[in-house]
Chains A and B, each alone.
Chain A
């Protein structure tokens, strides 16, 4: 690849459309919301305006966001997302591992099976889960044949976590598969040869050497889970309120865009914080003094 300085015209011609796209559809709207998060609804004639805003009035929205009510909801979202991510990892790892050790001709088919649900609209997939899990759904019907149930599997935290794991599974399987596939199998053989059991080999060699894939998968699942509102909305019970639902309501029913913007950005800062922590952690483990 040549240095871009040698061909500035080509560089700018190719580089401008995506830059414009990024600017117009990502940076500018995000910037608008950012400004909004520091603003308030305008007060017109002594009454709070419906559509007008006073821009850049201060931190009132952020202060309100730190109210225990919202922090509690955010904490619950973190907790549910962490649980869903952990479960996703625990189920995806064996799947990715299994695909890696399958016969070569089966591999593309197996990968397709993992990715296929992804092609189907999220809403339809979630409704499908409802059809399976509700009191008169397919699962309860089948359990009924053997005299079990019916169980309450929907409209509770279980359903939300399951729904999140189900929806984000491909995001975890694919990076794991990519890393495991690239793993030199002779490391595993060496561990066995030196006396390690299968379990020891897995814990001491396979997992540390596939850590990059694990971390990628975790990030790819945890972050969308945090902000999800569709899954808790459809599958959750009276209890399943996540921060995504609250943010959605601010932009719709409550008509409080500044507050919604503040909550959204708080979520983003928390995400950046987690990513920064991970970066510092990886620097430390490389032997760089942090």
Chain B
């Protein structure tokens, strides 16, 4: 993309001892995007983040920020700023001094520092606590200090490390909305690095899913959810039912395949596929019927488990050939409950277009 603010080109990072943390990753992140690096621990997202901010150097490859190659630029000269997972708010300085630190060390004039710090504190609603010391503040307040401290520098890119992980559920929601609002107000690129898919899905406009040092898929949250391109992505994001299938033959853009425990059917497929594939179906796309439904895809089975979650119930149904299907049932009537009980024999059905064919 031509207006990429951060361009990662074939970046590899190998540590002595034979560990390759990042393996030939290429990514383009657009200006004003809210981007997420998502993946389990050890996937390389943290190393990639450190390379963007300058705390690590790539073994090979290029990192270009704002059109400039960052190969010889140390972290203190890059147009990026970071909010650490532990916030790293300097304990020996007040909130005001913390926020003004980045300006002070780069020689900004004192009155301008005061003005900009005031603005930043206003933006994160911490003006009243300007003279406090960090040890007298809550975790959420310290996070806002760290945010203000980074934003006051007006970086091109703001990197956030697991921003919601240390907060409790209620604060998490508040902060999520806060971060989204901030990103729109300030108008700079946010990159969050996280292992929590809820964080990524709810805040980011585009997500790069990483595993074992490589990027598995880069897409919008909806696309990742409904059009995953690999088993890993399908499994990592949300819950999914994965059904093994054997392909008999390919007919144009469809394949004739046999799903284990389900039966033979024709499904849409994007590209050429080989012999063994996995068919993914999201639990909320499955429907339960007591009487045999008229759908093209239908499986009969016995209810093994019902987990009640208030707004939904997760029902696990045992079908033939060892196939287990997870169904999300919306408890849409107050008096009906989930409608099924353990041990009951039911039918599970879904529309063919809700199946996703995955090759890897």
Q: Provided the pairs A184-B86, A189-B55, A189-B84 are in contact, do residues A196 and B105 lie with their beta carbons within 8 angstroms?
A: yes
Min CB distance A161 to B, Å, is 32
Q: B53 contacts the other chain (Cβ, under 8 Å)? A: yes
Chain A 183-214 interface mask (CB, 8 Å, partner B; 1/0):
01011011111111100100011001100000
B236: interface (CB < 8 Å):
no
Given contacts A194-B149, A194-B150, A195-B105, contact A187 B90 (CB under 8 A): yes
Cβ < 8 Å to A, chain B residues 150-184: 150, 153
- Chain A positions within 8 Å of B91 at CB level: 209
Closest beta carbon of chain B to A199's beta carbon, Å: 10
Give the distance to chain A from B87, nearest Cβ to Cβ, in Å.
9
Interface of B is mostly: loop
Q: A208-B92, A209-B91, A209-B92 are in contact. Are A194 and B105 (CB under 8 A)?
A: yes
Q: Please, which residues of chain B bring their CB within 8 A of the CB of A195?
A: 76-77, 102, 105-106, 153
**Min CB distance, B90 to chain A, in Å?**
6
Q: Which of B88, B92, B133 contacts A184 (CB 8 A)?
A: B88
A286 closest partner in B (C-beta): B133
Query: B92–A194 contact, CB under 8 A?
Result: no
Provide the B71-92 mask, 1 if CB < 8 A to any CB of A, else 0.
0001111001110101010111
Question: Complex: how many Å from CA A170 to CA B301?
Answer: 74
CB distance from B110 to the nearest CB of A (A): 16
Which residues in B have their C-beta under 8 angstroms from that of A197? 76, 105
Residue B101 at the chain A interface, CB threshold 8 Å: yes
**Complex CA distance for A282 and B316, rounded to whole angstroms:** 63
Whole-angstrom distance from the CB of A6 to the nearest CB of chain B? 33
In angstroms, Cα B76 to Cα A190, docked, is 9
Across-interface contacts of A196 in B (CB, < 8 A): 76, 101-102, 105
| Residues in chain B near residue A190, CB distance under 8 A | 82, 84, 88, 90
Q: Which residue of B lies closest to A205 (CB)?
A: B90
Q: Which of B76, B106, B149, B150 contacts A192 (CB 8 A)?
A: B76
In the bound complex, CA of A189 to CA of B150 (Å) = 13
Question: Using Cβ atoms and an 8 Å threshold, which residues of chain A touch B77?
Answer: 195
Least CB separation from B105: chain A residue: A196
Closest CB-CB distance, B60 to chain A, in whole Å?
23
Which residues of A are found within 8 Å of B80, using beta-carbon distances? 193
4 further A-B pairs in the complex, CB-CB below 8 A; given A190-B90, A194-B81, A195-B153: A191-B105, A194-B76, A194-B102, A196-B76
* A-B interface, 8 closest residue pairs, ranked by CB to CB distance from nearest: A194-B102, A190-B88, A196-B105, A186-B88, A195-B106, A192-B75, A208-B92, A200-B105
